[in-house]
Amino acid sequence: MEQDFYASVYLGNMMALLKHEANEKITEENDGKDLKHKYEVNANILVGKLKNSLILMFLEKQPEKRTSLFHRIMQEIVRNKVPIRPGRSFKRNMGLKANKYSLNRKRCL
């Protein structure tokens, strides 16, 4: 149980670092463009890509392959961005079926 806790904390820290770096790349790409909204990384996609490839990155012994895998992951993460719409607050209709099949509908799983 303790091992799972530390793995989750580590994954969260890696996710925060990658999200920050990817958001900087997105900001650099969008500088000078006349866009309606500001864009950020889709966190669901980030977690899904990271959890599948983080172990592969650690197990790779050759630094060149590890670096290329990292850059491939970053390109995929930057490609999946979502607009940030300010002032969005809608009341959620939580009925009896609110949590039915909730894990099956998540995009990153």
Strand partners, 57: none
pLDDT for 109: 47
Nearest to 77 by CA among 54, 44, 32, 37: 44
pLDDT for 70: 87
pLDDT for 103: 64
pLDDT for 64: 92
107 within some domain: no
C-alpha to C-alpha distance for 96 and 27, rounded to whole angstroms: 40
Q: Find the domain containing 41 and state its range.
A: 2-84
**3-13 confidence digits (pLDDT tens):** 889 988 988 89
99 within some domain: no
pLDDT at 25 over 80: yes
73 within some domain: yes
13 within some domain: yes
3-state secondary structure the chain: CHHHHHHHHHHHHHHHHHHHHHHHHHHHHHCCCCCCCEEEECHHHHHHHHHHHHHHHHHCCCHHHHHHHHHHHHHHHHHCEEEECCCCCCCCCCCCCCCCCCCCCCCCC
The model's pTM is: 0.70
Are residues 11 and 51 in contact, defined by beta-carbon separation less than 8 angstroms? yes
**65-89 confidence digits (pLDDT tens):** 989 988 888 888 888 888 888 887 7
